[in-house]
Structure 1
Amino acid sequence: MLYIGAFLLVFIGCVHSFLGEKYILQRLFKRGNLPKLFGGTGFTKNTLRFAWHLTTLAWFGFAAILVYLANPDNHLLSISEIISVTFLAHSLVALFASKGKHLSWIVFLLVSVFVFIA
């Protein structure tokens, strides 16, 4: 049952990212009334895009935890390491998508490091 849950999380994450990009984000970005931050709409678009896709990354992290819980003796990573890696991925996406302007990458990195150390 846990493997089925993990599969469904990966599946819905992929569908969420693909369909959200195609049918929500692209249509939203064509509107002329997006907030202009840092001199234009680029920062706004990038923030909306990476925030949308961070949801998918979180679901992938939960899927990895479910796989771990299904058989905790056959895994290389612990649950805390899975969480640490998930937030490291969040940090990298936020850092590169925003070119460092959206400071959430720092918080995600700190979460990753602190959970790993713990």
Structure 2
Amino acid sequence: MLFAAGCLAILLGITHSILGEVLVFKRLRENSIIPNLTGHKFNLRQIRILWVSWHLVTLFGWALGILLFLLADVNNAPATLITQLKQVIAIAMCGGATLVLLGTKAKHPGWIVLLSIAILVWFT
């Protein structure tokens, strides 16, 4: 059941990002992967952080899906499992930091906190 839940989490993340790109962000970009056009009620900075937040949810959903896969493996030794869980969390936080850093041109401080979490978890 945990493996099935992990598969659903990964599928949800993929669907979430694809639908967001097609239904929300497609009209807000011109020759860029990151939205660069303003909407009727949002300025550019708000659009960019909305895009980052949208995909951050997907990234963290994937990480939770992978964690569920790891927990579903009954042959996983406790020490190995703890190491794997920490690695997935650190990689997800680092990916999130990168997304916020690039998506907001380093203007949102969230990337610093996400990267700090990644470093603390990785080196523990």
**TM-score interval, normalised by the smaller of the two chains:** 0.7 to 0.9
Residue 78 of structure 1 aligns to a residue in which SS? helix
Alignment correspondent of 2:48:
46
TM-score normalised to the size of structure 1? Answer: 0.82
Alignment correspondent of 1:33:
41
Q: Which amino acid aligns with 1:116?
A: W
Number of residue pairs aligned between Structure 1 and Structure 2: 111
TM-score normalised to the size of structure 2? Answer: 0.79
Identity %: 27
Q: How does 1:8-27 map to 2 (within 5 A)?
A: 8-26=8-26
Cα distance change on mapping 1:93 and 1:48 into 2, 3 Å: same
Q: How far is the alpha carbon of 1:27 from its aligned partner?
A: 6.4
Per-residue deviation, residues 67-92 of structure 1 (Å, max 9, x unmatched) = 111122487x5211111111011001
- Report the aligned-residue RMSD: 2.1
Q: How does 1:1-118 map to 2 (within 5 A)?
A: 1-26=1-26, 31-34=39-42, 41-71=43-73, 72-73=76-77, 77-118=83-124
Provide structure 1 residue ranges, at least 5 long, that are not aligned to the other structure: 35-40
Per-residue deviation, residues 34-65 of structure 1 (Å, max 9, x unmatched) = 1xxxxxx2221111001011000000100111
Provide structure 2 residue ranges, at least 5 long, that are not aligned to the other structure: 29-36
Displacement over 6 Å in runs of 4+:
27-30
